[in-house]
Amino acid sequence: MVAIIVPGNTWLFPYLGIFKTALERTGMDYEVVCWNREGLEENVAVSYSKPLPLNCSMPAKITGYAAYARYLEKTVSSRKYDKLIFLTPLVALFMRNFLRKHYYKRFWLDYRDMSWELKIKPWFDSLAGMAAGISVSSPAYRDLMPQSSVLCHNLDLDRLERALGENSPMKQASDKIVVSNIGYIRHFGQQKEIIDALANDNDIEIRFCGDGSSVEDLRAYVQDNGISNVSFSGRYVKDEEARLFEEADFANIYLPETKALLAAMSNRFYQCVLYGCLMIVNESSIQAGYVRDYGLGLCIKDCEGLAYKLKAFDRYNPEILNSRRCLLKKLSEEQQYFVSELTGFAKH
C-alpha cells in the first residue's frame, strides 16, 4: 500500500490527481493522507484535522508542520504503508530522522515551487539523498535536484492523450486581437503595464476572466483613466475555461521578474497548449524556451511596442497547429516517462 501525503486540504493540490491516476493505471493500491487545515469535508482515507490559516505567521507554520509530521509518523507506522509519496517536500523535512530510519529509499518527493526549503539546503540535500525518486514540475528545478529527478508536468496524461487525438481547427479570423488573463487575477503592476501598452487600441481587446486580489484596483484604474477596451467578466466555473481560452488569441502570462515565478511552469501555459491559445510570456522565463522553440506566442522583456508585436504576429499561420501538436507529443512522452518511473517505484 502506498500513501500519498498532502500537506493541506486536497483542493489546494490539483496535481494530486496526476499521482492518483498514475497509480490507478497500474492497479496500485494507495491511500491519501491530508492535513485538513480549513475544516472542510475531505473524502480521503486519513484526515488530520487541525486548523491553520494559509496566511499564518512563520512561527505558527513551523509549529503546525512539526505537529503534522509527528501525527504522520504515528499514522504511517500504525497503517504500515510500504511506500510514501510526499506532495511537496516540506513536511518530509520535519520527518527526515523517521524517514532515514524506517523509509530509506522508500519514499518519493515531488517539488513544485521555490520555497523556504532552499534556505536550509544542507538538510534538503540530505533528504533528497534518502529518497527513492524525485519529480519536479519545471526543467528549471533540475539544477536544484539530483540529476536523476524526473519531470512531471502539471497535466493529466489522459487529458494529454485526448488532446493529441483531437483534430483542432485553425481559429477563425476576427477583427480584433483578444488578449485574455484567465484565472486568478493578481500582480497589479504587470497587468497595468499590459493595459497601458494596449489602452484604447481599437484593434485589441483586453479581457480579465476570473477573480483575484488585483481585480478591484484594475477596475478602478481602467475607469479613472477612461480606458475603453478592457473588460472584466468575473469568476467562472471550470466548464467555461476551455471556451475562454479558445476565444482568446493570446493569453497574458506576463509575470513579475522574480526567480521563483520565472522558474515555474504555470497552469496557464499548459491550458494554452491544450486549448490552442497563443501566449505572452517573459523572455527570461523557463516557459519562453517552449514558446520560442515552437512559435506559440510572444516572449517579451517589457511591454514597449507590445501592440505592434501583437499585430505583426501571424496568428493564423497553419504551422501553429503543427507546432502545438509537436509540443503536445513532447509533453505526453515526458509525462509517460514520469508515470513509468513513479509506478516502478511503487511496485518494487
Q: What is the pLDDT of residues 116-132, one digit of tens each?
A: 666 777 888 889 999 99
What is the layout of strands, in order, in the sheet containing 107-111? 46-49, 30-36, 2-6, 83-87, 107-111, 133-136, 150-151
How does the average pLDDT of the chain come out, rounded?
93
Q: What is the pLDDT of residues 267-316, one digit of tens each?
A: 999 999 999 999 999 999 999 999 999 999 999 999 999 999 999 999 99
Segment 3-15 mean pLDDT: 94
Q: What is the pLDDT of residues 317-332, one digit of tens each?
A: 989 999 999 999 999 9
Share of the chain above pLDDT 90, in %: 80
200 SS3 class: coil
Confidence of residue 76 (pLDDT cuts 50, 70, 90): very high
Reading the block at residue 113, the C-alpha cell is 515551487
Q: What is the pLDDT of residues 177-216, one digit of tens each?
A: 999 999 999 999 999 999 999 999 999 999 999 999 999 9
Segment 252-261 mean pLDDT: 95
Secondary structure of 15-58 as H, E, C letters: CHHHHHHHHHHCCCCEEEEEEECCCCCCCCCEEEECCCCCCCCH
Burial of 20: CB neighbours in 10 Å, binned 0-12, 13-18, 19+:
middle
Distance between CA atoms of residues 303 and 280, nearest Å: 10
Share of the chain above pLDDT 70, in %: 99
Distance between CA atoms of residues 322 and 313, nearest Å: 17
Among 180, 163, 226, CA closest to 200: 226
- What the chain holds in terms of domains, given with CATH numbers, is 2-155+332-347 (3.40.50.2000), 171-317 (3.40.50.2000)
- E-strand stretches of 183-295: 204-209, 230-232, 250-253, 278-282
Contact predicate 265/138, CB 8 Å: yes
* pLDDT at position 148 over 80: no
Confidence of residue 266 (pLDDT cuts 50, 70, 90): very high
Contact predicate 31/16, CB 8 Å: no
Segment 44-73 mean pLDDT: 92
